[in-house]
Structure 1
């Protein structure tokens, strides 16, 4: 039970990587708060041991602060919420840019800012941010806004790690490749030829397949656990070889 006694909060836990991680953390003994803006998705956790659910809009600062106060002790924060915009800089709009940076970066800033006082008071904590291989790590076609916002996440992660490295707070990011999630399905189905679109996503993965959400969860568990207590400020590639 690698997370026995730890209390974790996960955003966007209703499906995909967030859900897989919530289940994995609970199995390892953590008391998990699974949150999502879509309360209907959280109903799937009913009956799961060690998991409590709460509707949370991470674009609402007041809601974040109220939730953190309600949650009590938080040892682990996994900032999983995010959105993928398609297109080049020529196709980017100010509205899309603002939405991406608000959800992909500002929401993480607000969540971290809200949980930090409690973590510092209790002597430590682990913060894990969802970045992407598409970021400052690697540029991918038609991901201008997304890549820029995820590069910001890596910078945010390193800054928090540097400021609190001597105060018991660890902050790391994970950088997945292409993961077979409901979010990816939505993007594929929005293309003129979904079959071809899926083939293209698979083709850019050197392993010749997409990742499954449950294959991403173990790196989050590692970073949440005391096994990684000497690791901070890192961006961990979980990309199926995209950055070889």
Structure 2
């Protein structure tokens, strides 16, 4: 059995459900020791239960990041509203959760990875936030997630010579069981393939990015080629 991460510790933030849980299970099957962070316990997995809407909880996760070999950050709250209906407090919380906190985790993990001359970082953006674009109804969220692209490229360029890779995934509408029947039907109608993205497709992309040392600074869209023209 191929266990490429048998001697590695992986910190997966957002590991208790959905994409985060699926990626954590994949890493565990590849031999990694999982340290998951989420809201719910998961059988057979070392989970730290925290509410990451609280800054004190985020500080605890930063301490955990210092010793990891693999860092995966899946969590990132979504907010859909026009700019004139986005309050200042929402701006602060969105930018912190979707950009500042992932950046802090990367900064916390890098010194240990540099000492080991090995590290893997995988960050999750939002739909079509792989580069600068305009968004009419979720501008604040998209601005924060787009900032991750710069973080990914900067980390890759700055630490490639230390055996560290940093890549990203921008998922489309994923079949994670989180949607109501009505919302699911609406999203399927907007999708190029008339169906949601399968979680397994996200996991396959994550495995590809994490296992290949020569894949660095790459942001993969797993969204069926979705664009607003499909609405």
Give the TM interval when normalised to the shorter protein.
0.7 to 0.9
The answer on whether the counterparts of 1:161 and 1:232 sit within 8 Å (CA) in structure 2 is yes
* In 1, Cα distance between equivalents of 2:108 and 2:136: 35
Shift of 1:5: 2.5
Shift of 1:137: 5.8
The answer on whether the counterparts of 2:99 and 2:145 sit within 8 Å (CA) in structure 1 is yes
Shift of 1:6: 2.3
* In 2, Cα distance between equivalents of 1:139 and 1:177: 17
Report the CA distance shift for 1:134/1:91 in structure 2 as closer, same or farther (over 3 A). farther
Q: Report the counterpart of residue 204 of structure 1 in structure 2.
A: 190
**Comparing 53-62 with 75-84, which one deviates more in the overlay?**
53-62
SS across alignment from 1:14: coil
Shift of 1:210: 0.8
Q: Report the counterpart of residue 62 of structure 1 in structure 2.
A: 59
Shift of 1:56: 4.2
Matched, 1:86 2:88: no
The answer on whether the counterparts of 1:134 and 1:150 sit within 8 Å (CA) in structure 2 is no
Q: Report the counterpart of residue 12 of structure 1 in structure 2.
A: 14
Query: Runs in 1 of length 4+ with deviation above 2 angstroms?
Result: 1-6, 55-62, 64-69, 136-141, 197-200, 212-215
Q: Report the counterpart of residue 177 of structure 1 in structure 2.
A: 172
Matched, 1:167 2:181: no
- How many residues align structurally? 222
Shift of 1:198: 3.0
The answer on whether the counterparts of 2:11 and 2:64 sit within 8 Å (CA) in structure 1 is no
SS across alignment from 1:240: coil
Residue 214 (structure 2) aligned to one of 230, 233, 241: 230
- Normalising by structure 1, report the TM-score: 0.83
Q: Report the counterpart of residue 127 of structure 1 in structure 2.
A: 121
Runs (5+) with no aligned partner, structure 1: none
Report the CA distance shift for 1:141/1:203 in structure 2 as closer, same or farther (over 3 A). farther
Residue 118 (structure 1) aligned to one of 98, 112, 115: 112
* In 1, Cα distance between equivalents of 2:153 and 2:81: 27
- Normalising by structure 2, report the TM-score: 0.87
The answer on whether the counterparts of 1:16 and 1:181 sit within 8 Å (CA) in structure 2 is yes
* In 2, Cα distance between equivalents of 1:25 and 1:7: 10
The answer on whether the counterparts of 1:21 and 1:214 sit within 8 Å (CA) in structure 2 is no
The answer on whether the counterparts of 1:207 and 1:241 sit within 8 Å (CA) in structure 2 is no
Runs (5+) with no aligned partner, structure 2: none
* In 2, Cα distance between equivalents of 1:128 and 1:56: 21
Q: Report the counterpart of residue 137 of structure 2 in structure 1.
A: 142
The answer on whether the counterparts of 2:6 and 2:32 sit within 8 Å (CA) in structure 1 is yes
Report the CA distance shift for 1:19/1:57 in structure 2 as closer, same or farther (over 3 A). same
The answer on whether the counterparts of 1:125 and 1:170 sit within 8 Å (CA) in structure 2 is yes
* In 1, Cα distance between equivalents of 2:35 and 2:170: 23
